[in-house]
Amino acid sequence: MFAEYSASELTAIFAMQGFAGLILFSVLVLMALGLAIIFGQMGVINMAHGEFMILGAYITYLTSNVFAEYLPSLFVGYFFVAMILAFGVTFLLGMAVEWGLIRFLYKRPLDTLLATWGLSLILQQLYRTIFGAREVGVSLPDWMMGSYALTDIIEVPINGIFVMILTLVIALGVYWLMYKSGWGRQVRAVVQNRPMASAVGINTEKVDRVTFGLGCGIAGIAGSAFTMIGSTGPTSGQLYIVDTFLVVVFGGAQSLLGTIASAFSISQAQSTMEFFLSGSMAKVLTLLFVVGILMLRPQGLFAMKIRH
């Protein structure tokens, strides 16, 4: 399939498609970081993760409308407000869901899957009732539109760079929170040995609630980024949930670095192949490749050396 292109054209194609894949990569990384915390650390299969992301996207949409209507002079900066709001709302909803549903199911991981699937159906219908079945789009402020010409053929979209930087900041933040902060140590202690952690005075219930909320909150930020690559509809989140789980499992469920690496390889493989093949075949090949590797190496790319 490469035969009809010259070497310099191929380089340019790879570079362009690579940068085009950056937003997909950012969305996947943010989704997967949230899920890696919820699934990798807590062992909860959150099938409603995509719906939390879409909630973030809807909040971004609402914020942009509010700014365009009432504060047009501040429209340039609405995205930052939207992100914070998206995080806050999904974080609170996540904590509520943990309190009302998840905490009864920690001993039954497969049942969390069914219960959160039910939750995702309810959320989808809720979005449909509130926002309508039609997909909504968000208008970007001027400074985020357009692209930056790197060479005369390679152009980089500015919103891609922006989301990329944002993702980097959040990934570093999550890393610091999980591995360097006192709170992260508590989370890991609870995950490794719940009775012991509670015996040394950690409030395990509170740690669980905040951890789940945090994972959902990051999904909300992913939703903000998502508004840049696609329009938001009630069922848009469902399309991403399988990809996200594969990213997390492929990277090795307990490794944040693995999650980022696998999100990068999956999104880049897909967007590069999309240039040469149809979109659906690119997706099939990527997923097949991932499933194939998982069959050979079930523990994922970056697995910790522990046995369960």
What's the Cα-to-Cα distance from 249 to each of 94, 115, 126, 290, rounded to whole Å? 22, 21, 30, 10
- Binning the chain into helix, strand and coil, the percentages to the nearest 5 are 75, 5, 25
Assess 181 for contact with another protein (CB under 8 A): no
The tokens of 244 are what? 């996200």
What's the Cα-to-Cα distance from 168 to each of 9, 159, 205, 270, rounded to whole Å? 29, 14, 30, 21
Q: Report whether 40 contacts 109 (CB < 8 A).
A: no
- Closer Cβ to another protein, 119 or 222, answer by number: 119
Rule CB under 8 A: which of 129-158 touch another protein?
129
Assess 71 for contact with another protein (CB under 8 A): no
157 bridge partner residues: 147
Assess 12 for contact with another protein (CB under 8 A): no
Query: What is the secondary structure of 23-38 as a DSSP string?
Result: HHHHHHHHHHHHHIII
Contact pattern from residue 37 through residue 56 relative to another protein, giving x for each residue in contact according to CB under 8 A and a dash for the rest: ------x-x-x---------
- Closer Cβ to another protein, 101 or 202, answer by number: 101
- Closer Cβ to another protein, 55 or 228, answer by number: 55
Assess 201 for contact with another protein (CB under 8 A): no
Q: Report whether 251 contacts 302 (CB < 8 A).
A: yes
Q: How far apart are CA 189 and CA 157, in angstroms?
A: 42
- Closer Cβ to another protein, 150 or 284, answer by number: 284
- In terms of Cβ atoms closer than 10 Å to its own Cβ (0-12, 13-18, 19+), residue 142 is exposed
Q: What is the dihedral of CA 170, 119, 189, 207, to 10 degrees?
A: 80
Binding another protein (rule: CB under 8 A), the pick from 2, 80, 88, 125 is 125
Q: How far is the CB of 79 from another protein (least distance, A)?
A: 31
Assess 28 for contact with another protein (CB under 8 A): no
Rule CB under 8 A: which of 78-107 touch another protein?
101, 104-105, 107
Q: How far apart are CA 288 and CA 268, in angstroms?
A: 15
Assess 295 for contact with another protein (CB under 8 A): yes
- Closer Cβ to another protein, 95 or 115, answer by number: 115
Q: How far is the CB of 218 from another protein (least distance, A)?
A: 20
The tokens of 84 are what? 């914070």
What's the Cα-to-Cα distance from 132 to each of 115, 135, 234, rounded to whole Å? 25, 8, 8
Rule CB under 8 A: which of 234-293 touch another protein?
238, 242, 245-246, 249, 278, 280-281, 283-284, 287-288, 290-291
Assess 304 for contact with another protein (CB under 8 A): no
Binding another protein (rule: CB under 8 A), the pick from 42, 93, 95, 115 is 115
147 bridge partner residues: 157
- Closer Cβ to another protein, 159 or 232, answer by number: 232
Assess 114 for contact with another protein (CB under 8 A): yes
Footprint on this chain of another protein (rule: CB under 8 A): 43, 45, 47, 101, 104-105, 107-111, 113-115, 117-122, 124-125, 128-129, 238, 242, 245-246, 249, 278, 280-281, 283-284, 287-288, 290-291, 294-295, 298
